[in-house]
Amino acid sequence: MKSYIEKAGLGKILEKVESSERLSVEEGLQLYKSNDILALGYLANIVRNRLNGDNTYFIYNQHINYSNICTNLCKFCAFGKEKDADKAYEMSVKDVQTKVRERLDEPISEIHMVGGIHPDLPFEYYLEVLRGIKEVRPEVHIQAFTCVEIAHLAQISGKSVGDTYEVLKEAGLGSIPGGGAEVFATRIRELTCADKLPGKDWIEIAKTAHRHGLNTNATMLYGHIETLEERVEHLAALREAQDETNGFLAFIPLAFHPQNTEMANLSRTTGMDDLKNIAVSRLFLDNFPHIKAYWVMIGPKLAQVALSFGADDMDGTVKEERITHMAGADTDQAIGSNTLVKLIKEAGRIPVERDTLYKVMQVHQ
């Protein structure tokens, strides 16, 4: 294999990967520029196996999107709507509780909840939603509110970001999902989401979460107008932040879905680019414990293949995914845990059901 990797021009990177040496920005770029997907997969698999062995994690989770009303209206998003738009909705605390109650017979350990940047819901609403979920399902872990929503909540509550986290924690918040990161580069934010929290602020809010004992995830929305340099810059910023606070659990590359968005002229990502983003992130983010292949966005079949290209996590059962489906995703809105177990086993890996913080719930031998 060594000579194969050398022929692909990646011999020096192989040496570094084998000796657990950090890759430079230039090497990150070189990986993105390579079209030798087998070489990239071989390299990423070394890191994946070193960090996680054959373990492949998944979670029994439920997604709830409390409202799609949003003042940001990003060009890549088909989910966010203006308040008086036809398809705008907002759930009451009771509506959210009903969603949770509907699935009490399933062994759900996490509720993943995000929404738009709502113009007038008061801070108390968010606290009530958290408390309301806990009332119906006291033991569930609530992973909610992206860093973008947290910035908004701090603003409407008149508190510092740190104090906002403390109040949210007391109401039941357990950790922060990785959304809203998009691509940190100012050029991309100006062209696609000018009203959104700037990239450097997203990172600051994630680091503040870590300092307040809350783990977070991180994402990158790829496959639209970003350059390879901007992708590496994004990964480098995350790696640097993780060096400081070590609070990120997983990185999830998000494949852009153009349908029903203002960028509908663009085409969907290819399988090669999906695998490449998994492999390069696994290689570059040497301090991130987990890389997720999010089956909702790349499909269960490619997510299964991604388990040999650096990914060690398939996210979870999900149920009722809306953000990607509004943008034309052709995957199901949920997947059975049996299907996840089968996909993982047939990839030659060990399915490990986890909780949000990666505590092992059950190993499916």
Q: Which residues bind ligand V47 (CB under 6 A)?
A: 76-78, 146, 177-180, 182, 217, 219, 221, 250, 252, 254, 256-257, 261, 294, 315, 323-324, 327
CB-wise, 30 or 177, nearer to ligand V47?
Answer: 177
Alpha helices (H) along the chain: 2-7, 11-18, 25-33, 37-52, 93-101, 123-136, 147-157, 161-171, 186-192, 199-211, 228-245, 271-284, 295-298, 300-306, 323-326, 337-346
318 class by beta-carbon count within 10 Å (0-12 exposed, 13-18 middle, 19+ buried): buried
- State the minimum distance, in angstroms, from the CB of residue 74 to ligand V47: 7
Cβ-based nearer residue to ligand V47, 256 or 309: 256
Backbone angles phi, psi at 183, to 5 degrees: -125, 130
Neighbours of 332 (CB within 10 A): 16
Angle at 67 between CA 62 and CA 71, to 5 degrees: 135
By C-beta, is 179 or 199 nearer to ligand V47? 179
Q: How far is the CB of 47 from ligand V47 (least distance, A)?
A: 20
Q: What amino acid occupies position 39?
A: A
From the CB of 52, what's the least distance to ligand V47, in Å? 16
Closer of 68 and 97 to ligand V47 (Cβ): 68
Residue nearest to ligand V47 (CB): 179
Nearest CA to 192 out of 204, 201, 180 is that of 180
CB of 172 to ligand V47, least distance (A): 18
Residues 316, 75, 145, 228: is their CA dihedral positive or negative?
A: positive
Which residues neighbour 263 within 8 Å (Cβ) at sequence distance 6 or greater? 75, 76, 192, 224, 225, 256
- Select 207 or 257, whichever has its Cβ closest to ligand V47: 257
Collapsed DSSP state (helix, strand, coil) of residue 181: coil
Cβ proximity to ligand V47: between 17 and 250 the closer is 250
Q: What are phi and psi of 175, to 5 degrees?
A: -165, 175
Least distance between ligand V47 and beta carbon 281 (Å)? 14
CB 39 within 8 A of CB 308: no
In the complex, minimum distance from the CB of residue 121 to ligand V47, in angstroms, rounded to a whole number: 18
CA distance 297 to 295: 5
Shortest Cβ distance from residue 147 to ligand V47 (Å)?
10
The nearer residue to ligand V47, 30 or 217, going by C-beta atoms, is 217
For residue 143, the minimal CB distance to ligand V47 (Å) is 7
Could you give the C-alpha distances from 39 to 29, 45, 227, 280, 310, in angstroms and in order? Answer: 15, 10, 22, 11, 12
Of residues 252 and 341, the one with the C-beta less far from ligand V47: 252
If the CB atoms of residues 128 and 274 are measured against ligand V47, the closer one turns out to be 274
Count the alpha carbons within 13 Å of 210 in the hemisphere toward its beta carbon.
19
Report, in Å, the least distance between residue 323 CB and ligand V47: 5
